[in-house]
Amino acid sequence: MALSTSPPPGKTRPEVRFKPRAARRPARRRTDRSSVFAFIVLTAPMVLGLALFKYVAIGWSFLLSLGEARGTLNPVRWVGLDNYAFLLSDPGFRSSLMTIVLFTLFIVPVTFAASLALAVLVHRIRRGRGFFRTTFLLPAAVSYVAATLVWRMSLFNGLPSGIANTLGGLLGFEAVPWIATQDPPLYWIVLITLRLWLQVGLYMILFLAGLQAIPPQLYEAAALDGASGWRMFRHITLPMLRNTSVALLLLMTIAAFQAFDEFYNLFSGGLKSGGNGTAPVKPPLVHLYNVALGDQNYGVGSAGAFLLTLLIIAVTLLQGRIVGLGRKD
């Protein structure tokens, strides 16, 4: 039996009228003010700390570099650019600049080549890749001071029982004082091996990330054309790693110019050795550390810090110009 929805005879269906719903007023965004307030409260400590301990400190250091401040952090009198002229004419500071330039010219290419080679080898490993990545990255988490003490007191301590001299004795070499001797300058071997052990693993991981971003279809197509491993590396791997290589070269250069811990702790070149230090080689940061804290000449020390900053900026811009930083291929 079908049910009829029509109204009974004699009755009409009541007319339903729809009243337009009143337009709703946009809800007030009560959370706007609270969000802004919460943002200010959460970021204020970081912003104030950054402004006080970084930007204010940099500004005050610049004022110190323009004044005479020996034994005090308040400039006694303004000397203008005399502190900068004194450093540029100082044989010790110019020698430190030469030291860091030679160190950079050697350590940057060696670190670049070693980290790229390790990245390529680890990238080709099918099993245990995570183990090797972790193993090579662990030294990057080690303190520079701790690693320097291990190199100085255990590996290259100059004793016949030291690890380096023991291995050299097995090969027929005599025990040598690695750090104390200056002819030949064997301390460079200590510095280079220490720096490589600390930094190669980190840059290897960054190169490995760039290698993993290269499409494997490029290698497959090159293999079908009969390309060898070296040709693939030269025509595919290196061009595809161009951006990564440029960035890492800049980072390596800046890190080399900022070398301090290994030089200072390896040669004890600081206050413990009488102010100027006994290090056969001293980079600018060690020299300026001795000037500012050893001689308490904060004006000259601040001027040296700004000179070193300008040098790093100039070298970085020059390097970026040479390697084509930001250039679109």
The CATH classification number of 102-269 equals 1.10.3720.10
- What is residue 185's predicted lDDT score, i.e. its pLDDT? 80
| Rounded (5°) CA angle 154-134-235 | 110
Band of the pLDDT at 68, cuts 50, 70, 90?
Answer: confident
Q: What is the DSSP string of 110-133?
A: HHHHHHHHHHHHHHH-SSSHHHHH
- Per DSSP, the residues of 159-205 read STTSHHHHHHHHTTPPP--TTT--SS-THHHHHHHHHHHHHHHHHHH
Across 2-16, 51-65, 79-93, least confident range: 2-16
Higher pLDDT, 281 or 110: 110
Q: Is 295 helix (H, G, I), strand (E, B) or coil?
A: coil
pLDDT at position 183, please? 66
Residue 84 confidence (pLDDT) above 80 = yes
What are the distances in angstroms from CA 204 to CA 82, 137, 210, 255, 289?
A: 44, 8, 10, 16, 32
CA distances from 287 to 88, 129, 255 (A): 13, 43, 17
Is pLDDT at 117 greater than 50 in this prediction? yes
pLDDT band at 202 (very low <50, low <70, confident <90, very high): very high
Q: Which residues of 258-294 are buried (b: 16+ CB within 10 A; e: fewer)?
A: ebebbbbbbbebbeeeeeebebebbbbbbbbbbbbeb
Chain position carrying tokens 């995570």: 130
Looking at the chain, how many residues does it have? Answer: 329
- What pLDDT digit, counting tens, does each position of 252-263 carry? 999 999 888 888
The tokens of 73 are what? Answer: 């952090």
| Helix boundaries (H) for the chain | 30-50, 56-65, 82-88, 91-124, 129-137, 144-150, 163-170, 187-212, 216-224, 229-232, 238-240, 242-257, 261-267, 284-289, 298-323
- Pick from 178-182, 289-293, 305-309, 312-316: least confident: 178-182
Give the SS3 label for residue 50.
helix
Picking from 188, 190, 186, 184, the residue whose alpha carbon sits closest to that of residue 152 is 190
Higher-pLDDT residue of 110, 77: 110
pLDDT, mean of residues 32-55:
86
Amino acid present at 252: M
Average pLDDT for the chain? 82
Q: Which of 195, 199, 162 is nearest to 265 (CA)?
A: 195
Tokens at 117, concatenated: 């080679």
Tell how far CA 289 is from the center of its chain.
Answer: 21
pLDDT at 235 over 80: yes
The Cα 120–Cα 234 span in angstroms is: 13
> For 184-213, what is the mean pLDDT?
90
- Take residue 300 and report the two structure tokens written for it: 């000259």
Q: How far apart are CA 93 and CA 48, in angstroms?
A: 35
